[in-house]
């Protein structure tokens, strides 16, 4: 059991706990399990979005992380097949304040607990998420073991030991684990009432998208601005990319340490930038890959940015956008070389949120302009990409 120097937090009820979170420092939170049973070990982060828990759990950028939701009403709209950002949940586990209530939404097809159980993901409710979030903010994202046992039997010392032994995300290349196995075409556009997802039947631009962990709604946004999208695995070479004779190259979001993924992605990007004057657009990990390719460096953040209410300032226009974010690493703006302009910054902490190359149609942002969930203030970035490709053709 934890020593007297460590914190033990019990559930606020007389019901026997059936799940617990053991942190590497010995802190233990007890609660009520739902979803799958068993144990998972990962980095613990928090997300402040009020909607989109299904999209968040299926966002490949959350590989290697357990997500604490600060909004208490998680599960109240159920789940459905249309809102998955990838085939299965990628986040390692879920932590919530209140146990999910019966779903009430016309699009619901499966209760959240059943959806998680069918996909092998553990969740715990009844947790003091405000206290847990404060811990993460003050001390950084901890390593944690999340366990769910319907009988409530936990070897706490063993769980703490598992959390301590977790290697963390630094130096970890997770893009290879979540990328596609082979190339494929994408023509589905953004959801629209009343028919759902329409198909792009008259594309104007050929785009190669590098899949470091791409969300489906990013690909839908590309299709919605007139792109014929071919998705290639994260390990694709410049030769693979250029063989498709694209009008533009897109670098997707993804998980893990950008420096580790950059070992093979950066040379590919550098070769494309050297051989072709193509429009290039990157998001999230793709933003970090582009920054590394032009000579900048990345750093691990204390607790990262995860939520749908992050204010970002566009230096070029002076406008402030409310954005969706999900990243634990950031581009170090102090390392940006000459010719690389910082285009966006976070108004929360001043960290870098975008770059562009001077006099070239090459740019990237740290935030998620496709939202899903979140505001759509930044959708113009997809339109800019399409305009760059159109301008290139006309020139």
Active site residue 368: yes
The CATH T-level fold of domain 175-394 is Rossmann fold (3.40.50)
Supply the pLDDT for residue 342.
Answer: 98
Pick the CATH number of 8-165 from 3.30.560.10, 3.40.190.10, 3.50.30.20, 3.40.50.1820: 3.50.30.20
Active site residue 284: yes
Give the H/E segment covering residue 208: strand 205-211
Single out the residue of 244, 264, 240, 239 nearest to residue 254, CA to CA.
Answer: 264
Q: In this structure, are strands 362-365 and 122-125 parallel, antiparallel, or unpaired?
A: unpaired
The catalytically annotated residue of 148, 327, 344, 368 is 368
Alpha carbon separation from 259 to 263, 264, 288, 330 (Å, rounded): 7, 10, 9, 11
DSSP one-letter code for 17: P
Where in the chain are the domains? 8-165, 175-394
Helix locations, the chain, DSSP H: 53-57, 112-118, 129-139, 156-165, 175-178, 216-224, 238-242, 258-275, 285-293, 380-394
Q: 239-276 burial string, b = 16+ CB within 10 Å, else e? A: eebbebebbbbbbbbbbbbbbbbbeebbebbbbbbeee
Supply the pLDDT for residue 9.
Answer: 56
Backbone phi and psi for residue 188, each to the nearest 5 degrees, phi listed first? -80, 135
Domains 8-165 and 175-394 share a fold: no
CB neighbourhood size of 159 (10 A)? 21
Supply the pLDDT for residue 5.
Answer: 38
Supply the pLDDT for residue 2.
Answer: 43
Single out the residue of 88, 91, 50, 89 nearest to residue 69, CA to CA.
Answer: 50
Place of tokens 């299965």: 88
The catalytically annotated residue of 221, 227, 284, 353 is 284
Active site residue 370: yes
Enter the pTM of the model.
Answer: 0.95
Strand partners, 326: 306
**Could you read off the pLDDT tens digit of each residue along the chain, which spans 395 residues?**
444 335 555 545 567 999 999 999 999 999 999 999 999 999 999 999 999 999 999 999 999 999 999 999 999 999 999 999 998 899 999 999 999 999 999 999 999 999 999 999 999 999 999 999 999 999 999 999 999 999 999 999 999 999 999 999 999 999 999 999 999 999 999 999 888 999 999 999 999 999 999 999 999 999 999 999 999 999 999 999 999 999 999 999 999 999 999 999 999 999 999 998 999 999 999 999 999 999 999 999 999 999 999 999 999 999 999 999 999 999 999 999 999 999 999 999 999 999 999 999 999 999 999 999 999 999 999 999 999 999 999 98
What span, in angstroms and rounded, lies between the C-alpha atoms of 73 and 92?
20
What span, in angstroms and rounded, lies between the C-alpha atoms of 50 and 209?
29
């Amino acid at each position: 059991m934890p020593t007297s120097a460590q914190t033990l937090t019990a559930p606020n009820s007389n019901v026997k706990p059936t799940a617990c979170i053991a942190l590497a420092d010995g802190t233990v939170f007890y609660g009520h399990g739902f979803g799958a049973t068993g144990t998972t070990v990962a980095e613990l982060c928090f997300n402040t979005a009020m909607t989109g828990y299904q999209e968040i759990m299926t966002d490949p950028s959350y590989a290697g992380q357990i997500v604490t939701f600060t909004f208490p009403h998680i599960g109240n709209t159920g789940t459905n097949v249309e809102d998955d950002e990838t085939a299965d949940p990628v986040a390692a586990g879920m932590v919530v304040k209140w146990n999910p209530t019966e779903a009430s939404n016309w699009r619901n097809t499966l209760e959240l607990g059943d959806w998680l159980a069918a996909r092998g993901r553990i969740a715990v409710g009844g947790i003091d998420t405000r206290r847990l979030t404060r811990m993460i903010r003050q001390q950084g994202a901890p390593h944690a073991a999340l366990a769910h046992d319907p009988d409530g039997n936990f070897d706490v010392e063993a769980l703490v030991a598992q959390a301590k032994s977790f290697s963390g995300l630094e130096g970890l290349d997770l893009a290879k684990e979540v990328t596609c196995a082979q190339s494929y075409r994408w023509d589905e556009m953004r959801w629209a009432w009343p028919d759902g997802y329409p198909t792009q039947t008259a594309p104007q631009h050929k785009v190669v998208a590098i899949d470091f962990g791409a969300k489906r709604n990013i690909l839908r946004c590309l299709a919605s601005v007139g792109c014929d999208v071919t998705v290639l695995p994260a390990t694709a070479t410049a030769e693979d990319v250029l063989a498709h004779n694209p009008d533009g190259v897109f670098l997707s979001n993804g998980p893990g340490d950008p420096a580790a993924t950059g070992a093979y992605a950066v040379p590919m990007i550098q070769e494309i930038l050297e051989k072709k004057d193509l429009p290039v657009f990157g998001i999230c990990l793709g933003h970090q890959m582009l920054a590394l390719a032009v000579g900048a460096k990345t750093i691990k953040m204390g607790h990262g940015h995860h939520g749908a209410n992050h204010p970002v300032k566009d230096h070029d226009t002076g406008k402030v956008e409310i954005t969706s974010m999900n990243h634990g690493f950031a581009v170090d703006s102090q390392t940006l070389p000459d010719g690389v302009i910082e285009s966006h910054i976070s108004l929360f902490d001043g960290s870098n949120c975008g770059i562009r190359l001077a006099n070239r149609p090459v740019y990237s942002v740290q935030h998620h302009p496709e939202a899903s969930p979140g505001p759509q203030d930044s959708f113009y970035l997809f339109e800019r990409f399409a305009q760059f490709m159109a301008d290139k053709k006309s020139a």
